[in-house]
Amino acid sequence: MDSCSFLLFSFLITFMTVLASKENDHELIKSDQISLLSLKSSIVLDPHNSLATWVSISSSSSSSSLVDVCKWSGVKCNKESTRVIELDISGLDLHGVISPSVANLTALTVLDLSRNFFTGEIPHEIGSLYKTLKQLSLSENLLQGNIPQELGSLDRLVYLDLGSNRFIGSIPVQLFCNGSSSSLQYVDLSNNSLTGEIPLTNHCHVKELRFLLLWSNKLVGGVPSSLSNSTNLKWLDLESNLLTGELPSQVISNMLQLQFLYLSYNHFVSHNNNTNLEPFFASLAKSSDLQELELAGNNLGGEIPSSIRHLSVNLVQIHLDQNRIHGSIPPEISNLLNLTLLNLSSNLLTGPIPLELCKLSKLERVYISNNLLTGEIPVELGDIPSLGLLDLSRNKLSGSIPDSFANLSQLRRLILYGNHFSGTVPQSLGKCVNLEILDLSHNNLSGNIPVEVVANLRNLKLYLNLSSNHLNGAIPLELSKMDMVLSIDLSSNELSGKIPPQLESCIALEHLNLSRNGFFGLLPASLGQLPYLKELDVSLNRLTGAIPPCFQKSSTLKHLNFSFNLFTGNVSNKGSFSNLTIESFLGDSLLCGSVKGMQACKKKRKYPSVLLPVLLSLIATPFLCVCGYPLVQRSRFGKILTVFDREEVEDEEKQNRNDPKYPRISYQQLIAATGGFNASSLVGSGRFGHVYKGVLRNNTKIAVKVLDPKTAVDFSGSFKRECQILKRTRHRNLIRIITTCSRPGFKALVLPLMPNGSLERHLYPGESSSMNLDLIQLVNICSDVAEGIAYLHHYSPVKVVHCDLKPSNILLDDEMTALVTDFGISRLVQGIEGTVSTDDSVSFDSTDGLLCGSVGYIAPEYGMGKRASTHGDVYSFGVLLLEIVSGRRPTDVLVNEGSSLHEFVKSHYPNSLEGIIEQALIRWKPQGKPERCEKLWREVILEMIELGLVCTQHSPSTRPNMLDVAHEMGRLKEYLFASHFSHQETQGEASS
């Protein structure tokens, strides 16, 4: 063959090879296209979903056809655009199942389908991607069944996240034992229902593992010894399982890079039959990067060893609470110089509080409650500059309360109840101007209640408890300056004098207990006008006269105790007295009336009818109003409703003309619609005003939120803020504004009336005429609320932090759709001018000094002086979930249990939740649904608890954002719907 022929032959061979290669490339991308379209066919899409771009392309071999697939949403190809190497369609709210065809994407390195609503099982075919797949994330879906063992074939897998699904069964052995050189670095199987042991046998090695998250499952057995080979581990979270055996000292000792170790709420024991913690603490000595250590809720025995001094200087939090640790607190704890949180509560610790503890200058929260500590409080505790919470309650501490606490400028909560403290209440506590909780109850304190303390603690927002001491003298009038306090308990002391009527200034008060003292004289009628008072106990005093009718007319009072006083007169069973029995009036022998169990009153002699008009004319003038309820109809704003100011009306009409987008509703129309803002039209009250129902002339039902004139000077900015927010936000789960009405001395928002009232009315049907909701409705409502708040945080034209999310601010329309309302104290994170805050927070403005929300729903960082942020709304939503499930108001838990609702539920999690779940089932079980669905309902309730606990974590940075929360609630709603639909189909097939 001559040279020309050879060159021609070589060219033809090269040309044919290139042509074959291109043809092969086309076939490969076409195969990937078919696989993607097959996956799409198994997904339920709406027209606006980004996967709508996945459309079939021509079968021609043009280069444009090859590129089109690589431009599909969520698809990434290699440089040559010949293969799909990444598929990320996470967070798109996709419904359906995962098609096995995804395994035909044989060049795939990343598969991320997380944060969707996929149901069914994981296709075992994914295991065939063993040559390429490095990242697999299917978390936060509705997947169920067993984790397929074929995933163990994925030799190159680095990242595996299957958390927050509904997987059952054991963890496949193959997942960790797929060869001697596993590449796995991140494994998250948390928040499922996995059982069995952690499958790491001695011949299994996961040397590259850095994160192992198995929390909230039902795993049993011990921590496998072969985990000690994972020397690169940084994060080990086994919390909330059923693990047993000795604390894994040998395993931990090799983890030199460990940063986070969570072993709480299992059944671990310490060394030597649960008597020795020394080996475990010693095993952590080489983990120089350790930041958080949690061992709570294991009933661990032994003493805190002196080797605690060898723990990492980077340690920020240590949780040893709810164990059986005894002995003294070792002075060597002072070596943990960066510690901000120390929780040793609910143990058997003895001895004094060591002085060395006071050297931890960065401490912010100290919990040593419910132990057996003795001695006095070290004066040096007052030298810790950032201390915001100190809980030494339920110990055997004695001596006086140190004056040095006056130095704690950041102190928010001082809880010392249940000890043996003596002396007086120190006047120096008045310098702790940021205190929100002061509980000195159940001690041996004596003397008067210092005027200096109550005068300077006007910012006290949660509760003041001085009960069960030996305090004497009168109640200082300065106590009335605590206008934001929720609860005051002065019971079981030796106080005397008259109950000051000035207490009516404590306008936020919900609980007042003055029982077991020596108070005499009349019971002030002003107390009955407190707008939010729910509980009043004045029993075992020497009060005289009639019980003022105000208490009976109160719309908020639920629990009353007037027993063992010297009250006289007639008591009816109307209003707030309708549910009372003789138990509330024991020992008041001079009372009579129609209350159940009370002696009937003797019939009075009737006067001739001719004298009645004369008597009425004599008494009408001096007694025009009783307890603030006028006989002559007046508005709450002091004007007789039939008299109007012409100039003000003209101003109002001018204002309405300037805002043509909203209908004109005049002041007179609002008066007519609400019956003159009559008490019978009152449907709700808040810190900033009152809400009245009404009907306009065109039969439109409205709700009128009127700014309270008492707070108009301080909170008028709130009205403007709410108007700004409502006019700029549009969402199906946010209340819409009809119009505003503003004139001198009067400001109101006109809103549509929600026929089904607030969520609060339905959560506590015994307190109103509302009916019970069922679990399906509650999940739908919570999903609606999450969607509304997520819109405010992430999509609203003006980003908003609501700051007061609670059941009374969630309204229900005629279809039981939830609408979030009351933006009275919201903070605008993004200003009207468009300036954006980089940290999703904003400093206080016109509402400085107020709570960022309502007591019980307030994020703990607000109590530490932090700025309002979206994290605070997430916390409030979490409290809402826990309230729904537990059936307990967070304020009741705070007052009666001395803890937050998060702490109360967490103390039962995960092994003692049965009682809470059972009660929730009794309250919320869907009517008419088969008992076989009870397992489903239990799962949903448990997931609501878990989401509530995650949302109410103490650290704001560890809480999810509202988009994630809304997604989780959507998953629950979808799961309930899918399971119910599946059950109906099964029933239909059975009947046919």
Residues marked as catalytic: 804
Strands 746-752 and 701-707: antiparallel
960 membership: H or E segment, kind and range: none
CA–CA gap between residue 835 and residue 830 (Å, rounded): 6
Half-sphere exposure of 66 (CA within 13 A, CB side): 18
Are 739 and 750 a contacting pair, CB within 8 Å?
Answer: yes
* Structure tokens that stand for 63 in this block: 């280069």
CA–CA gap between residue 220 and residue 201 (Å, rounded): 15
* Structure tokens that stand for 304 in this block: 């805190």
Half-sphere exposure of 667 (CA within 13 A, CB side): 25
Q: Coil, strand or helix: which one is 390?
A: strand
Residue 705 labeled ligand binder: yes
* Structure tokens that stand for 819 in this block: 């609408």
CA distance readout (Å), 662 to 603, 655, 690, 722, 751: 58, 11, 22, 15, 12
The dihedral over CA atoms of 293, 294, 300, 306, expressed in degrees to the nearest 10, equals 20
Type of residue at 290: L
CA–CA gap between residue 61 and residue 415 (Å, rounded): 76
Are 117 and 103 a contacting pair, CB within 8 Å?
Answer: no
* Structure tokens that stand for 52 in this block: 């709508």
136 membership: H or E segment, kind and range: strand 135-137
The dihedral over CA atoms of 945, 974, 784, 836, expressed in degrees to the nearest 10, equals 90
Q: What are the phi and psi torsion angles at 538 (to 5°)?
A: -120, 20
Burial (0-12, 13-18, 19+ Cβ within 10 Å), 170: middle
- Kindly state the DSSP code that residue 625 receives in the 8-state scheme: E
CA–CA gap between residue 42 and residue 743 (Å, rounded): 59
* Structure tokens that stand for 707 in this block: 């700014």
The dihedral over CA atoms of 128, 130, 131, 133, expressed in degrees to the nearest 10, equals 100
Torsion over CA: 316, 320, 322, 326 (sign):
negative
Question: Helix/strand/coil (H, E, C) string of 58-110?
Answer: CCCCCHHHHHHHHCCCCEEECCCCCCEEEEECCCCCCEEECCHHHHHCCCCCE
Binding-site residue positions for ATP: 705
Binding-site residue positions: 705
